[in-house]
Amino acid sequence: MKKVNPLYEGKAKILWETDDPALMVQEFKNDATAFDGTKHEVIEGKGRLNNTISSHLFGLLNEKGIRTHFREKISETEMVVERLEMLPVEVVVRNVAAGSLVRRLGIEKGATFDPPIVEFYLKDDSLHDPILSEEHIRVMGLATPEQVTGLKNAALAVNETLGSFLLERNMRLVDFKLEFGTVGGELVLGDEISPDTCRFHDAKTGEIMDKDRFRQDLGGFLEAYNEVLSRVSS
């Protein structure tokens, strides 16, 4: 398998076409962005950390029988993935109230949800990723009702597997965002699973170990990502 052309460059990653039409190389950049890209910094070492953390977590999900695009980590900042037809929908699972949920609904920060909440957002920066109901998904033709059920079930299965794995390593999985695609009609988890796309808190101290350190200018960004890596690889 050989990397050929960059197909798409986003805010955090570059997707490369390869000489195998079924496979792509997903390269993690050092760019950190927040608030629809209005806050932007280059943080040396971030690409390596997110690629390594994501590879570990996708490897775990693959082992547990959850269908993901991840094949293998091939360098510090690159992984081989299956090429998917992405659904323009972000799936968010929340175990604990934080972020936009608190801002939008006034729910008390730290409130817990059991069963967890599953939400859908439209992946469209120009519209600021608005929240979607299942009816919106249906009328906009973003996914079939069967796919919506599949997305929810897969997201909850990821939550179960990841939540207990992280708790064993003294981390609380507060919330996270997933992106799915299809290959041959099958729903497959794509994109990344990292402290950029999840909220991880130290289970004992509540210390923030994710991109909120960048969003809120808390400092200690690389230290927190390094600590996540050391815990997920233990």
Contact residues: ligand ADP, CB under 6 A: 8, 10-13, 15, 24, 69, 81-84, 86, 179, 181, 190-191
Integer Cα distance of 111 and 126 in angstroms: 31
Structure tokens at 129: 């990723």
**Strand, coil or helix: what is 133?**
coil
Integer Cα distance of 8 and 227 in angstroms: 30
Out of 45, 88, 99, 163, the only residue in the binding site for ligand UDP (CB under 6 A) is: 99
Integer Cα distance of 67 and 178 in angstroms: 13
92, containing H or E segment:
strand 85-96
Q: Which is nearer to ligand ADP, 58 or 200 (CB)?
A: 58
Q: Which is nearer to ligand ADP, 45 or 113 (CB)?
A: 45
Q: Write down the least CB distance from residue 174 to ligand UDP, Å.
A: 7
118 binds ligand UDP (CB under 6 A): no
Cα–Cα distance list, 126 to 37, 123, 134 (Å): 11, 9, 21
The DSSP letter of residue 140 is T
Out of 199, 201, 213, 231, the only residue in the binding site for ligand UDP (CB under 6 A) is: 199
Q: Write down the least CB distance from residue 125 to ligand ADP, Å.
A: 7
182 binds ligand UDP (CB under 6 A): no
Interface contacts to ligand UDP, rule CB under 6 A: 90, 92, 98-101, 129, 175-177, 197-199, 211
